[in-house]
Amino acid sequence: MNLIKKSILFGTALLFSSFSAIAEIKVVTTIKPIHSLVSGVMDGVSNPSLIIEGSNSPHNFSLKPSHAKMLEEADIVFWIGEDLESFMEKPLNSLAKNAVQISFMDLKSIEKLKFREMSDHDDHDDHGHEDEHEGHDDHDDDGHKDDDHDDHGHDDHHGHEDEHEGHDDHDDDGHKDDDHDDHGHDDHHGHEDEDDDSNHEGHNHGEFDAHIWLDPVNAKAMVSEIAHELSELDPSNKSNYEKNAEKMISSLDDLIERVSTTIPKNSSFIVFHDAYQYFENRFNIKAAGALTLNPEVLPGAKQIAEIQEIIEHDSVKCIFSEPQYNPKIIEMLSADMKVLTSVLDPLGANIEAGPEMYNDLILEIASSLKDCS
């Protein structure tokens, strides 16, 4: 009898051990474009959770109890960073303190652009990537190293007690892969190089524009990071993550080529808020102006007058609103100046969530601009 009991107990222990070994990791993402990239890497393995759905904006989002539960149970959280999802700072420190936290703004493989001042829109000859659409292999100078995961945007709330503010030497941070030994951990001390210029109109954290996902080359770097981090947490599915990432990066290369060869370079347009410079730089176009740098700060009479002048001077054809915000000012300008109105959406509110969403988002933006040419 004792032998039978021992056999049952041993068998039960093995069963629970097996369940534990194959238990799905719980992955949380903040905005739909990130969710799409993570979904693609996790395809055939599991599905990540998404916090911000529909036409909600990360600039003024409030967590619900269901979101708090997601964060409490999370093994890993992918987000852009405090410059975009400022509502996440406290929950990450409390609810998700035991989760791996990946801030894409902290990756050195991401090309970051500084916030533009309103006057920057007046220089229509300043395009950053005139020669970067042939092969897309020459981005090393910008830090795009799709094959090397040297720099990871870890938040230091999951066991990196000995890290220093410089974050230059992380050989001992627990990642066994020798190609992954320099991690850009987010320590929530703030950004030393913060730009206090009031023209940033409410961007309270860093000097860099947080809409990094609108450059598909940045998306490639994000996919590589996602695959690496998921493989660290779930090594049994490492081959799946790596295979999916390779497929996605190839798809993103095709996307870049497709948009580069079809998007009109002579479009003259105004955007609601200045969220698109990553897209503009990548595809060698430029908005004639923006109504506001920060969507939470409505433009004043002076800015509206300047936009009206730009519309007349630059023969602007379209003014783009966003589904997250009231289009009243856009409609007023359109009626007064007799220009077309349309919608640009950096978050893809009306696009179905899933692995294809990111590519659909970039193609939708390109299509809207093409219709405006």
6 is a domain residue: no
325 is a domain residue: yes
Structure confidence at residue 299 (pLDDT): 81
Residues 189 and 329 in one domain: no
The answer to whether the CB of 22 falls within 8 A of the CB of 235 is no
Residues 247 and 326 in one domain: no
- Count CB atoms within 10 A of the CB of residue 236: 10
Average pLDDT in the 1-12 region? 49
Average pLDDT in the 11-22 region? 45
Residues 267 and 347 in one domain: yes
Element (H, E) at 123: none
Q: What CATH number is attached to the domain comprising 350?
A: 3.40.50.1980
Element (H, E) at 6: helix 2-22
Structure confidence at residue 183 (pLDDT): 42
Residues 161 and 101 in one domain: yes
For residue 321, list its beta bridge partners.
Answer: 343
Question: Last residue of a domain, which of 198, 227, 259?
Answer: 259
Residues 203 and 134 in one domain: yes
Q: Range with the lowest mean pLDDT among 78-92, 136-150, 248-262, 334-348?
A: 136-150
295 is a domain residue: yes
pLDDT tens for 293-314 read 777 677 888 888 999 999 988 8
Could you tell me the pLDDT band of residue 47, with boundaries at 50, 70 and 90?
Answer: very high
2 is a domain residue: no
99 is a domain residue: yes
Residues 111 and 162 in one domain: yes
Question: Last residue of a domain, which of 232, 259, 286?
Answer: 259
Q: Range with the lowest mean pLDDT among 42-51, 175-184, 253-262, 312-321?
A: 175-184
Three-state DSSP state, 125: coil
Could you tell me the pLDDT band of residue 94, with boundaries at 50, 70 and 90?
Answer: very high
Residues 220 and 166 in one domain: yes
Question: Which amino acid, 269?
Answer: F
Q: Which of 18-27, 105-114, 122-131 has the highest mean pLDDT?
A: 105-114
For 27, the token pair is 């992955």
226 is a domain residue: yes
In the chain, what is the straight-line distance between the N-terminal and C-terminal CA atoms, in Å? 83
pLDDT tens for 122-169 read 544 444 444 444 444 444 444 444 444 444 545 544 434 343 343 444
Question: Last residue of a domain, which of 222, 240, 259?
Answer: 259
The answer to whether the CB of 243 falls within 8 A of the CB of 348 is no
Structure confidence at residue 13 (pLDDT): 46
Residues 90 and 152 in one domain: yes
Average pLDDT in the 19-45 region? 90
Share of the chain above pLDDT 70, in %: 70
- The pTM of this model reads 0.74
Q: In the block, which residue shows the tokens 């894409």? A: 104
Structure confidence at residue 348 (pLDDT): 96
Report d(CA 130, CA 242) in Å as an integer.
31
For residue 78, list its beta bridge partners.
Answer: 29, 102
Residues 230 and 158 in one domain: yes
Total tally of structural domains belonging to the chain = 2
Q: In the block, which residue shows the tokens 């433009």? A: 299
Long-range (24+ apart) CB contacts under 8 A made by 196-201 are 197/117, 199/117, 199/118, 199/293, 200/115, 200/293, 200/294, 201/292, 201/293, 201/294, 201/297
Q: List the domain range (segments joined by +) for residue 330.
A: 261-371
Residues 344 and 217 in one domain: no
100 is a domain residue: yes
Q: Range with the lowest mean pLDDT among 172-181, 234-243, 277-286, 322-331?
A: 172-181
The answer to whether the CB of 180 falls within 8 A of the CB of 165 is no
For 313, the token pair is 């001077």
Residues 77 and 175 in one domain: yes
- Residues 92-122 as b or e (16 or more Cβ within 10 Å = b): beebbeebbbbbbbbbbbbbbbebbebebbe
Sequential DSSP letters for 234-297: -GGGHHHHHHHHHHHHHHHHHHHHHHHHHS-S---EEEEES--HHHHHHHT---SEEEESSTTS
159 is a domain residue: yes
Could you tell me the pLDDT band of residue 194, with boundaries at 50, 70 and 90?
Answer: very low
Report d(CA 193, CA 207) in Å as an integer.
7
* Residue-averaged pLDDT of the chain: 79
pLDDT tens for 209-248 read 999 999 999 999 999 999 999 999 999 999 999 999 999 9
Residues 234 and 106 in one domain: yes
Element (H, E) at 27: strand 27-29
Structure confidence at residue 118 (pLDDT): 58
